[in-house]
Structure 1
Amino acid sequence: MGAVLLLVVGAFVTPVGTKLIDRLFPSEGTLEIVDLAVEDVGSAAVLDISVQNRGTARVVSRRASIRVERFTQIRVCNTQGELEVTGEYDLSLPSPADVGYTASKKLNQQVGADEADRFQVRLQNKDQKKPHTVSFYGLDVTIETNGSPPSIHAGKAMVALPLVPSNTDAGWYWSSRFVREPLDWLGPQQAAVEACMHGNSRAMQEFLTGPGVLSEALLNLRSDLL
């Protein structure tokens, strides 16, 4: 009994003893999601994730898993000339993507007891070199940790890669702009181009009414569709 007592007393003054105390009297970290946001940056979509450790021990976020729940793709119809971010991670998504496909990225985010953290996962796809095609992903985001619970659901998000379509310099979809500015200058191609744009609008309207947080650019796109 005396030997055990000496060992425990020594635990308070040596690094080895500190580790022993952690084993004998384990504390528990509990990580919670505070916020999931989406931002469009260049040819990437950024998932901005904020967490809070509500427990009494340090928690390590080990991996982010991004599961594709929905996917659609459109082609251009006509072309005319807060918390400091402590970690950033790049992740590539396939195009096209099968529903159920899961991509994951190893993390190394440590959150002390009663501390907050924020990190970003930057999503891209191979179409960044082929801007005549835009892919829409409905994603489910999960973070794996060494705390309790070992897996936390961050939420759902919708992203467009490699860009959010805009009618500023290309004809992607039908909007009020083309009610004011008819496309009769296209001549014999007008009917085909307008049919393509109407089809893209319907596809995006259906997709963007699904579950998931949207970036400001996607919210603006959804309100512009006709």
Structure 2
Amino acid sequence: MIFGQSYMGGSAVQAAEHDAERKQSTEDCSPTEIPHPGGLLQRLEQRPGLSGMVALTTFAALGVGVLAAVPDWRDMVMNGDPPPADVHTAEVSVTPTPSSAATPDLRVLDLVLRDPLRSGGTVGGEPEFTLPSAEFTVHNPGTHRAVITRVIMKIEDSAVIEQCAAEGMPVAVSAEYDVLMPLRPADGAELQVPVSQHQASDEADRFTLRFGSPEPLSPTTVHLYRIRFELALGRDGARLDAGTAVVATPLTPVDGAGYFWSADHDSGRVVFGPDFTGREEVIACMKSNSGAMTSLLSGAGGLSPALARSLSDLRTG
């Protein structure tokens, strides 16, 4: 170190001085005084009452003061070059911004509507059906885990479809379900379904909501809902649009089940004869249902396969 090279004991300094003087006289050099090897530190040490350690301390303090007074001293010493790789710098912590990779980047890949299907069992001699469902497929392309805490369902429109004429439609049975739909919700009503879905980085996932309703007005009453789905993410509850779809519960009203006026009725392939009990009331009921279903099913939103077929069969007369 520079301090070790500059500091010498008293006898060593004096010997160096005598050698320097003899060399000057022998070589007949210029009378210019040759600096003492100890420089400033040597002169400080030779002052009366000033020990070597005190001189060393004084020199160190002067050196620190000079460096502090010159902010760009490293540039001066290193000619403006960046510090070498082995120079350690202070560690700096940077808080990521909301747009950084720490924010989950979840995407909804698909929303599939599934119709009730025969379960294979029977209840009271009638076929048993599964519940209608909505299936969500999501993917997390980000680098941090995404957590879905709730599915938010906003009911944009709804309709109650009564069976106008019994034509062999089986009666659905009660079952366990995930979402209990209101019988007559107000437009804009919002339901929140607690879920717990975790997607690691670059992981895809699929989960299903099943829909049921409280005790219907009659065993054959069908409820239609156009629902806008959103997924609530993480603790802050940021919402991700998951699509809009129409859900029918407990069963899907299809052609031939006595729910709506269809192309077959319009063309005369299916006729209610004059002796059909309540003929006029049944026809009016079916045409009224056709108008309500056309309005709801033709709006924005995905349809299950059975509902899509029903929409194509609908006629308002």
- Asked if Structure 1 and Structure 2 have the same fold, meaning a TM-score greater than 0.5 normalized by the shorter chain, the answer is yes
> What is aligned with 2:102?
27
1:97 shift after superposition: 1.2
> What is aligned with 2:305?
216
> What is aligned with 2:6?
none
CA 151–190 in structure 1, closer or farther in 2 if over 3 Å, else same: same
> What is aligned with 2:229?
141
Q: Deviations over 1:28-60 (max 9, x none)?
A: 321111111111123532111011112111111
Q: TM-score, normalised by structure 1?
A: 0.79
Could you tell me which amino acid in structure 2 is paired with residue 192 of structure 1?
E
Q: Deviations over 1:182-203 (max 9, x none)?
A: 1116435211111111111111
Is contact 1:31-1:148 (8 Å) kept?
A: no
Moved more, 35-44 or 99-108: 35-44
Alignment pair present for 1:110 and 2:185: no
1:223 shift after superposition: 0.8
**Percent of aligned positions that are identical:** 32
CA 73–161 in structure 1, closer or farther in 2 if over 3 Å, else same: same
User: For residues 218 and 277 of structure 2, what CA distance do their matches in structure 1 show?
Assistant: 26
Larger radius of gyration between Structure 1 and Structure 2:
2
1:158 shift after superposition: 0.7
CA 112–147 in structure 1, closer or farther in 2 if over 3 Å, else same: farther
1:130 shift after superposition: 3.2
Could you tell me which amino acid in structure 1 is paired with residue 108 of structure 2?
I
Greater share of residues in strand = 1
Q: With CA pairs under 8 Å and 6+ residues apart, which has the higher RCO, 1 or 2?
A: 1
Q: TM-score, normalised by structure 2?
A: 0.57
Matched length: 198
Is contact 1:30-1:148 (8 Å) kept?
A: no
Is contact 1:138-1:157 (8 Å) kept?
A: yes
Alignment pair present for 1:39 and 2:127: no
Q: Deviations over 1:114-134 (max 9, x none)?
A: 111111111111256833211
Q: What are the ranges of 5 or more consecutive residues in structure 2 without an aligned counterpart?
A: 1-89, 92-99, 117-128, 169-176
Q: What are the ranges of 5 or more consecutive residues in structure 1 without an aligned counterpart?
A: 6-24, 82-88
Alignment pair present for 1:161 and 2:249: yes
RMSD: 2.7
CA 68–97 in structure 1, closer or farther in 2 if over 3 Å, else same: same
SS of aligned partner of 2:211: strand
1:123 to 199, 211, 218: 211
Alignment pair present for 1:99 and 2:187: yes
